[in-house]
Amino acid sequence: MTNIAHNTDPSHAGLPHPHDLQRRSLAAVWHPCTQMARAAVVPPLPIARGDGPWLIDYEGRRYFDANSSWWVNLFGHSDDGIKSAIHQQLDTLAHVMLAGCTHAPAVELAEKLSALTGGALGHTFFASDGASAVEIALKMSFHSWRNRGQEAKREFVCLRHGYHGETIGALAVTDVAVFRDAYAPLLMQAHVVASPDSRQGPDSEALALADLRKLLEARQGHIAALIIEPLVQCAAGMVMHAPSYLHAVRALCDTFGVHLIADEIAVGCGRTGTFFAFEQALASAGPPQAGETPSGGGAHTRAPGGTHPFGWPDFITLSKGISGGMLPLSLVLTTEAVYQCFWSDDVARGFLHSHSYTGNALACAAANAVLDRFASGNVLEHNRQQSAWLQQAFAPLQADTRVQHLRQRGMILAFDVRPELAGQRFAERFHLAARQHELLIRPIGNTVYLMPPYLVDEPTAQFLAQAVTQTLNDVLHHAA
């Protein structure tokens, strides 16, 4: 709405002409994750406003935001609760630096997050974007080992096709060729181990664990941390694995004295069925397996090494959904044990990292409103119902020979179009065709996925399945 009011181009009587916006955007805005030469052929879609799960263009056409605007939106684009929390905060304090000062929204948010981990990760360090949170977790892990006299631990491990952001440090633990290759000469070397990709059959988990164990044995004393996306490797194309893998990984990290960083930037905030995806690994904790540290008494007792309360990761990164998709915010949660490594009279032993907008009060207020929703509502229970509706609506695709690996974890549903049918520029063609069916969706390669806002009812699930199927018909027909 403000866009319209602020438009000063007299030729459109106060309304920006969509084609004009496209032209100006291409001239002045360098779009992310975009080959701009291609954007000149397929220009960006000008969006005028958002309403619930819908995005509405300047011609009044609506599109269901099937990927929650890059996985950030939880409760729709115009959620009153989050909006009013931001408005209220704006009337008192928009921002103050968190060095030497503090403010209620940051304190409350850190306390709530600590409570959500049962106190296991009781310390929150704030930043603004997901990649910064990843940088922080990497630096904190290395520095904590260094402060404990274990400077040799400075190597990191990530999973095949894992994604952790695109700043130089985060990109070093990202294994997505299209983002990484051009910058490879600039990046620190990380170890890449096999992914427990469920599409590769029942052995994939055991093979991935064996690969990890082999590396941890070979590089014992040199590895600071393993970073993973729990349950779903999203940017890889919604590659899924079982909670039992995470549980076994936690045990391996204990055995070899390696920190575990759970990057929940995309999978956190209820997306996979629990608030933190990693919680499902705690729940799946069976009897200790060979080589695994015995748990003693449940998730919150201390492991013998004293590095972390048993079961939980040493670090959790959050961003994207934490502010409901309205303001940029990211954070790193960590344990008392890590925190204590920095406690000293010596300034240099402290964690001196900072970003200007660290712990922005407006963003924290939005995040508090999100967590209040989880605390007072039945968000997770409602999500289970929504994911069941999605499952039912998409079930017919199970028998569709054009696709394979239909898979789902909570509010993420995905399938792969058979590579031999997908044809050239499948993702772009699918995206454009879907717009004709009121759907804004961006496949990753030949993986079509939905990661919708938590606003799916039964008719909406049916609409989504229909729109996806019709788009598939359009696109594969034209490809044939």
Ligand X SMILES: *Cc1c(COP(=O)(O)O)cnc(C)c1O
Report which residue's Cβ sits closest to ligand X: 130
| Shortest Cβ 233–ligand X spacing (Å) | 8
Which residues of this protein are in contact with ligand X, per CB under 6 A?
129-131, 134, 163-165, 229, 234-235, 263, 265-266, 319
Minimal distance in Å, beta carbon 270 to ligand X?
A: 15
Shortest Å, Cβ 186 to ligand X: 17
Q: How far is the CB of 319 from ligand X (least distance, A)?
A: 5
Q: Which is nearer to ligand X, 72 or 433 (CB)?
A: 72
Of 179 and 374, the one with the shorter C-beta distance to ligand X is 179
Instruction: Report how far residue 60's alpha carbon sits from residue 470's, in angstroms, rounded to the nearest whole number.
Output: 22
In DSSP terms, 302 is beta-bridged to 309
Shortest approach of ligand X to residue 86 CB, angstroms?
19
The least CB distance from residue 272 to ligand X, in Å, is 12
Q: Is the Cβ of residue 319 or residue 447 nearer to ligand X in the bound state?
A: 319
Would you say 117 or 319 has its CB closer to ligand X? 319
Residue 228 phi, psi dihedral angles, 5° rounding: -140, 155
Least distance from C-beta 33 to ligand X, angstroms?
A: 10
User: Considering beta carbons, is residue 144 or 330 the nearer one to ligand X?
Assistant: 330
Q: Which tokens in the block code for residue 1?
A: 């709405």
**Residue 77 or 164 with smaller CB distance to ligand X:** 164
Nearer to ligand X, 182 or 347 (CB): 182
